[in-house]
Amino acid sequence: MSDPNTTAAAFWDARHALHSDAENYLNHPLVAAYTSLRAVGSVTPHLDVVIAELRAKTPPGGLVFSPACGTGAKELALARALPDRRFLACDIAHSALAQAREAAARDGLTNIEFVAMDANDPDLRPASLVAVVGMGAFHHIERLETFWAACRRALLPGGVVMGQEYIGPNRLQWTDAQIEEGNRVLRDIVPPEHRVHHDRIVRTPVEVMLRLDPSEAVRSRDILPTLRDAGFTLAGYASGGGALLQPVLMSQIHTYDPQRWDHNLVLARLFAEEDRLMREGRLGDDFCMFVTAPL
């Protein structure tokens, strides 16, 4: 029988690798700027948006819950920036939680706790939370109905659910429109030097996705619909785009040097194409920021 701690560690390593590969294009400074301008109208680091929203929408002393935290880098940043709030973060990978706890101890952070808990069935105390935040975590939750019901019970009056999330096709199974438009721009806009990983858009076989990480984008398209069905109202929504950019740029964004004007020009042309296709209704959001509250 395999050691459960070793199995969890291997699962975390695979999940982290696939998650990084799927979303690494967002780390490019020009792509990050485009996404931020689209969502909030200014060039603001995405985590700073979460910090500002928590500061505005939660009271000092309130407890904020973050599921599927991994090694907790984002949660630790929140705890540093908001020392007068308390944070509860969970994950199923004990090795990742150990790293998070060690980092919190090194930084002397006493306002954050990392616990072993399955986000699919979270054990949350009723009427204990002022906010639930998902920073690329909600799309790893399969039992969304159970999760939202637990969050609803745990939220205090006035509490909110906030997300910066991938809401694109489940299991990264690109739509026909994404494949058609992605292949067109790869052919007509993207030079060969930027097509080192792929020159055509293909759907990753589901069996490969399941082998690498059974939770990656497991029900990403269902995040907002199941929130509404659970009795939450959408109080704020910001478009993040990505339906063209992600399948075109993932695993080859590293070929775009931010200091090369010609590389940035290619990205700018891709931004313009994505925006045009979205305005025409051809593509929608694969990423968004949102705030909801119980009805």
- Domain of residue 27, CATH code: 3.40.50.150
Residue among 161, 165, 115, 107 at smallest CA distance from 136: 165
Is residue 67 domain-resident? Answer: yes
Domain count, the chain: 1
Is residue 189 domain-resident? Answer: no
Is residue 177 domain-resident? Answer: no
> pLDDT tens-digit profile of 32-66?
999 999 999 999 999 999 999 999 999 999 999 99
Is residue 183 domain-resident? Answer: no
User: Quick check: 236 pLDDT over 60?
Assistant: yes
Within a 10 A sphere around the Cβ of 276, how many other Cβ atoms?
Answer: 12
Is residue 11 domain-resident? Answer: yes
The reported pTM is 0.90
Q: What percent of the chain has pLDDT over 90?
A: 87
Domain extent for 63: 4-170+220-243+281-294
| C-alpha span between 147 and 154 (Å, rounded) | 11
Is residue 155 domain-resident? Answer: yes
Is residue 19 domain-resident? Answer: yes
Is residue 98 domain-resident? Answer: yes
